[in-house]
Amino acid sequence: MSKKDKKERPPMPEALPAPAVDAHTHLDACGAKTAEDVRELVDRAHAAGITRVVTVADDIEAANWAAEAATWDDRVFAAVALHPTRAKDFTDADRRVLEELAERPRVVAIGETGLDYYWDFSPPEPQHEAFRWHIDLAKRTGKPLMIHDRDAHEDILRILTEEGSPETVIFHCFSGDAEFARACVDRGYVLSFAGTATFRNANAVGLREAARLVPVEQMLIETDAPFLTPHPFRGRPNEPYCANYTLRDLAELRGADLAELIVATTATAERVFRLDQVAAS
């Protein structure tokens, strides 16, 4: 791939045969600042069949922006939290901001929170403390807990067990193998698959097996844009419309009818995020 290609967005795909939801994206990191920017990104997604998106915060500034952006366009919803890599700087003032934002009707999840042992920006102890606090916030608000789990499978499950899981737990950008997927499914958790599940490298074999076996009632599709652009455009800038490519790839992987997979995963998104209830409020 040339340097020029790496800077270009993937081509617009043919529209999906049914409307889909991007369950986890970062519109601000995709370059959106204003309501017009958001509308442009979401219009592009809509043209590809991705008709609703959840834009997710990873710090307090992003949380404020996401909650506000969700009021600019009816197709946009928000999730708020402090990313685990920033946990060492988590203050009481931050907690108060997140508590206020979490009560807003268009904030549909608490996330992304969890544990990240890949980067060393925050030691484990403050990550654990922050994760436990976000679990409690999800339970207090009755909103889904959206988990970031990087190289931390066992501790994530242990802390969820110790604290008691919220009603709905979503593993964003699920990164485990089939065995870990089964453990999560058995607990009733929802697994969200990003472009990584379409990769063809050796490290993706277990993840693709996980994507093959998860029941559609516990399955979401996401982009995590602008990161993790799906195959065959890995390395290019990602956007919500690229969830179209992931859906097509996973339908083929699962031997499923594309329209049926879209309808099923959209129903899962509508249920866990209560999107119809939010739209009616």
Q: Is 272 part of a structural domain of the chain? A: yes
Q: Mean pLDDT for each consecutive 10-residue tract of the chain (281 residues)?
A: 69 98 98 98 98 97 98 98 96 98 98 94 95 98 98 97 98 97 98 97 92 98 98 96 98 98 98 89 71
Residues 77/57, Cβ–Cβ less than 8 Å: no
* H helix count then E strand count, the chain: 11, 8
Q: Which residues are annotated as a binding site?
A: 24, 26, 112, 148, 172, 224
User: H or E segment at 116?
Assistant: strand 107-116
| Local structure of 190: helix, strand or coil | strand
Domain membership flag for residue 4: no
37, 51, 117, 253 from 149: Cα distances, Å: 30, 27, 8, 24
Neighbours of 241 (CB within 10 A): 27
For residue 90, count other CB atoms closer than 10 A to its CB: 20
Domain assignment present for 227: yes
Residue 240 lies in a domain: yes
Asked if residue 46 is part of any domain, the answer here is: yes
Range of the domain at 232: 13-280
Determine the pLDDT at residue 74. 97
Please tell me the total count of domains within the chain.
1
CA-CA distance, 50 to 189, in Å (whole number)? 23
Question: 3 lies in a domain?
Answer: no
pLDDT, one tens digit per residue, over 182-221 is 999 999 999 999 999 999 997 889 999 999 999 999 999 9
The reported pLDDT for the residue numbered 6 is 67
The per-residue pLDDT for range 219-240, each reduced to its tens digit, is 999 999 999 999 999 999 999 9
Residue ranges for the known binding site for a divalent metal cation are: 24, 26, 112, 148, 172, 224
Q: Per the confidence metrics, is the pTM higher than 0.75?
A: yes
Assess if residue 111 is contained within a domain.
yes
Provide the CATH number for the domain around residue 62.
3.20.20.140
pLDDT, position 1: 47
Confirm whether 31 is domain-assigned.
yes
